[in-house]
Amino acid sequence: MVEDDSGDLDYWADPSVAQRLSGLGVAHTYEWQPASSGSDGGAADQVRQVILWELYPVLRQVRQDVRGMSGMAGIGFWPEAGAVVVQWRAPIPPEVSALVGTRASGARVEVRPTVYSRADVRHAQDHLQEWLRDTDRRRDWSSAGACADGSGLIVGMRPKAAGEPGLANEIAAAVGMPVLVIPEDRPFPA
Protein backbone atom coordinates (compact mmCIF):
# COMPACT_ATOMS: atom_id res chain seq x y z
CA MET A 1 0.00 0.00 0.00
CA VAL A 2 1.50 3.32 -1.05
CA GLU A 3 0.15 6.78 -0.45
CA ASP A 4 -1.08 8.34 -3.67
CA ASP A 5 -2.60 11.80 -3.52
CA SER A 6 -3.61 11.91 -7.17
CA GLY A 7 -7.27 12.24 -6.18
CA ASP A 8 -8.38 9.58 -8.67
CA LEU A 9 -10.90 6.98 -7.56
CA ASP A 10 -9.09 3.85 -8.71
CA TYR A 11 -7.07 1.62 -6.41
CA TRP A 12 -3.98 1.25 -8.58
CA ALA A 13 -0.81 2.99 -7.47
CA ASP A 14 1.19 5.12 -9.86
CA PRO A 15 2.75 2.74 -12.45
CA SER A 16 6.26 4.14 -11.95
CA VAL A 17 6.03 3.44 -8.20
CA ALA A 18 4.68 -0.05 -8.84
CA GLN A 19 7.52 -0.76 -11.27
CA ARG A 20 10.18 0.35 -8.78
CA LEU A 21 8.62 -1.74 -6.00
CA SER A 22 8.30 -4.73 -8.32
CA GLY A 23 12.08 -4.63 -8.75
CA LEU A 24 12.32 -5.07 -4.97
CA GLY A 25 10.09 -8.15 -5.05
CA VAL A 26 6.72 -6.52 -4.27
CA ALA A 27 4.08 -8.49 -6.17
CA HIS A 28 1.17 -6.03 -5.93
CA THR A 29 1.04 -2.31 -5.35
CA TYR A 30 -2.18 -0.49 -4.53
CA GLU A 31 -3.05 3.00 -3.34
CA TRP A 32 -3.54 3.66 0.33
CA GLN A 33 -7.08 4.97 0.79
CA PRO A 34 -7.26 6.78 4.16
CA ALA A 35 -11.05 7.15 3.99
CA SER A 36 -11.92 3.75 2.58
CA SER A 37 -15.69 3.35 2.57
CA GLY A 38 -17.25 0.39 4.32
CA SER A 39 -14.48 0.05 6.88
CA ASP A 40 -12.55 2.07 9.38
CA GLY A 41 -9.93 2.67 6.69
CA GLY A 42 -7.27 0.87 8.69
CA ALA A 43 -4.34 -0.81 7.06
CA ALA A 44 -5.51 -4.31 7.99
CA ASP A 45 -8.88 -3.77 6.29
CA GLN A 46 -7.26 -2.45 3.15
CA VAL A 47 -4.66 -5.20 2.97
CA ARG A 48 -7.40 -7.82 3.43
CA GLN A 49 -9.38 -6.22 0.57
CA VAL A 50 -6.36 -6.31 -1.72
CA ILE A 51 -5.74 -9.96 -0.88
CA LEU A 52 -9.36 -10.81 -1.68
CA TRP A 53 -9.07 -8.95 -5.01
CA GLU A 54 -6.16 -11.24 -5.86
CA LEU A 55 -7.84 -14.42 -4.59
CA TYR A 56 -11.23 -14.00 -6.23
CA PRO A 57 -10.08 -14.71 -9.83
CA VAL A 58 -8.24 -17.80 -8.57
CA LEU A 59 -11.37 -19.05 -6.80
CA ARG A 60 -13.42 -18.50 -9.97
CA GLN A 61 -10.85 -20.39 -12.06
CA VAL A 62 -10.72 -23.31 -9.62
CA ARG A 63 -14.53 -23.54 -9.65
CA GLN A 64 -14.43 -23.63 -13.44
CA ASP A 65 -11.67 -26.26 -13.44
CA VAL A 66 -13.65 -28.66 -11.22
CA ARG A 67 -17.09 -28.01 -12.71
CA GLY A 68 -18.86 -31.29 -13.38
CA MET A 69 -16.55 -33.36 -11.18
CA SER A 70 -17.96 -35.17 -8.17
CA GLY A 71 -16.35 -34.95 -4.75
CA MET A 72 -16.34 -31.22 -3.91
CA ALA A 73 -16.91 -30.61 -0.21
CA GLY A 74 -16.19 -26.89 -0.11
CA ILE A 75 -14.15 -24.00 -1.45
CA GLY A 76 -13.27 -20.75 0.19
CA PHE A 77 -10.83 -17.97 0.84
CA TRP A 78 -8.02 -18.14 3.40
CA PRO A 79 -6.89 -14.51 3.19
CA GLU A 80 -4.39 -14.77 6.04
CA ALA A 81 -2.46 -17.33 3.99
CA GLY A 82 -3.11 -15.74 0.59
CA ALA A 83 -4.83 -18.94 -0.47
CA VAL A 84 -7.94 -20.52 -1.87
CA VAL A 85 -8.70 -23.78 -0.06
CA VAL A 86 -10.57 -26.60 -1.77
CA GLN A 87 -12.04 -29.42 0.32
CA TRP A 88 -12.49 -32.65 -1.64
CA ARG A 89 -13.74 -36.09 -0.70
CA ALA A 90 -10.82 -38.51 -0.52
CA PRO A 91 -9.33 -39.98 -2.55
CA ILE A 92 -8.54 -36.76 -4.33
CA PRO A 93 -8.39 -37.24 -8.12
CA PRO A 94 -5.19 -36.25 -9.94
CA GLU A 95 -7.01 -33.44 -11.79
CA VAL A 96 -7.87 -31.83 -8.46
CA SER A 97 -4.43 -32.45 -6.94
CA ALA A 98 -2.94 -30.70 -9.98
CA LEU A 99 -4.62 -27.46 -8.85
CA VAL A 100 -2.28 -27.21 -5.84
CA GLY A 101 0.36 -24.52 -6.13
CA THR A 102 1.11 -20.84 -6.37
CA ARG A 103 -0.31 -18.79 -9.23
CA ALA A 104 1.48 -15.99 -11.07
CA SER A 105 -0.40 -13.50 -8.87
CA GLY A 106 1.15 -15.06 -5.77
CA ALA A 107 -2.17 -16.61 -4.68
CA ARG A 108 -1.93 -20.21 -3.54
CA VAL A 109 -4.37 -23.08 -4.01
CA GLU A 110 -4.51 -25.79 -1.37
CA VAL A 111 -6.55 -28.99 -1.59
CA ARG A 112 -7.53 -30.78 1.59
CA PRO A 113 -9.15 -34.20 1.86
CA THR A 114 -12.51 -34.72 3.55
CA VAL A 115 -14.55 -37.78 4.32
CA TYR A 116 -17.77 -36.52 2.72
CA SER A 117 -18.63 -34.36 -0.29
CA ARG A 118 -21.42 -31.78 -0.58
CA ALA A 119 -23.48 -34.37 -2.45
CA ASP A 120 -22.96 -36.87 0.38
CA VAL A 121 -24.18 -34.27 2.89
CA ARG A 122 -27.24 -33.43 0.76
CA HIS A 123 -28.03 -37.15 0.57
CA ALA A 124 -27.71 -37.42 4.37
CA GLN A 125 -29.99 -34.39 4.77
CA ASP A 126 -32.59 -36.15 2.61
CA HIS A 127 -32.35 -39.21 4.88
CA LEU A 128 -32.64 -36.93 7.91
CA GLN A 129 -35.94 -35.61 6.57
CA GLU A 130 -37.18 -39.19 6.19
CA TRP A 131 -36.09 -39.99 9.75
CA LEU A 132 -37.79 -36.86 11.10
CA ARG A 133 -40.99 -37.86 9.33
CA ASP A 134 -40.85 -41.54 10.34
CA THR A 135 -40.12 -40.74 14.01
CA ASP A 136 -42.46 -37.74 14.21
CA ARG A 137 -39.55 -35.58 15.43
CA ARG A 138 -39.92 -32.71 12.95
CA ARG A 139 -41.11 -30.37 15.74
CA ASP A 140 -37.82 -30.98 17.60
CA TRP A 141 -35.62 -30.27 14.60
CA SER A 142 -34.25 -26.83 13.65
CA SER A 143 -31.38 -27.19 11.16
CA ALA A 144 -28.86 -29.48 9.48
CA GLY A 145 -25.62 -28.82 7.65
CA ALA A 146 -22.14 -30.11 6.95
CA CYS A 147 -19.40 -30.05 9.55
CA ALA A 148 -16.84 -27.46 8.46
CA ASP A 149 -14.17 -30.13 8.01
CA GLY A 150 -16.42 -32.41 5.92
CA SER A 151 -16.45 -35.13 8.57
CA GLY A 152 -20.21 -35.46 9.02
CA LEU A 153 -23.52 -33.72 9.64
CA ILE A 154 -24.44 -31.17 12.31
CA VAL A 155 -28.08 -31.44 13.35
CA GLY A 156 -29.71 -28.70 15.41
CA MET A 157 -32.45 -29.94 17.71
CA ARG A 158 -34.48 -28.13 20.34
CA PRO A 159 -32.45 -28.02 23.56
CA LYS A 160 -34.60 -30.57 25.43
CA ALA A 161 -34.39 -33.06 22.55
CA ALA A 162 -30.70 -32.45 21.88
CA GLY A 163 -29.80 -33.78 25.30
CA GLU A 164 -31.44 -37.17 24.79
CA PRO A 165 -28.92 -40.02 25.24
CA GLY A 166 -28.18 -41.88 22.02
CA LEU A 167 -29.91 -39.37 19.74
CA ALA A 168 -26.80 -38.62 17.66
CA ASN A 169 -26.16 -42.35 17.13
CA GLU A 170 -29.78 -42.95 16.15
CA ILE A 171 -29.69 -40.15 13.58
CA ALA A 172 -26.26 -41.26 12.32
CA ALA A 173 -27.60 -44.76 11.66
CA ALA A 174 -30.49 -43.25 9.69
CA VAL A 175 -28.41 -40.82 7.59
CA GLY A 176 -25.30 -42.92 7.00
CA MET A 177 -22.65 -40.59 8.43
CA PRO A 178 -21.45 -39.30 11.81
CA VAL A 179 -23.78 -36.75 13.42
CA LEU A 180 -23.16 -34.02 15.96
CA VAL A 181 -26.41 -32.94 17.63
CA ILE A 182 -26.38 -29.39 18.94
CA PRO A 183 -29.01 -27.62 21.05
CA GLU A 184 -30.70 -25.02 18.89
CA ASP A 185 -34.05 -23.30 19.13
CA ARG A 186 -36.19 -23.37 16.04
CA PRO A 187 -35.94 -20.22 13.92
CA PHE A 188 -39.68 -20.46 13.23
CA PRO A 189 -42.71 -21.67 15.22
CA ALA A 190 -43.43 -25.38 15.26
Element (H, E) at 60: helix 43-66
Give domain status of residue 13, yes or no: no
Q: How many domains does the chain have?
A: 2
Q: What is the CATH classification number for the domain harbouring 83?
A: 3.30.300
Which of 91, 114, 137 finishes a domain?
114
Which of 67, 84, 114 finishes a domain?
114
Distances (CA, A) of 181 to 135, 145, 154, 161: 16, 11, 6, 9
How far, in Å, CA of 24 to CA of 34, rounded? 25
Domain that includes residue 156, residue range: 118-183
Q: Are residues 128 and 171 in the same domain?
A: yes
pLDDT tens digits for range 13-33: 667 766 775 666 666 666 666
Q: Are residues 104 and 149 in the same domain?
A: no
Give domain status of residue 86, yes or no: yes
The one-letter amino acid code at 65 reads: D
Give domain status of residue 3, yes or no: no
pLDDT tens digits for range 75-134: 999 998 999 999 999 999 999 999 999 998 889 999 999 999 999 999 999 999 999 999
Give the model's pLDDT for residue 4: 56
How far, in Å, CA of 117 to CA of 98, rounded? 19
CB atoms within 10 A of CB 95: 10
Query: Quick one: what percent of the chain has pLDDT higher than 90?
Result: 66
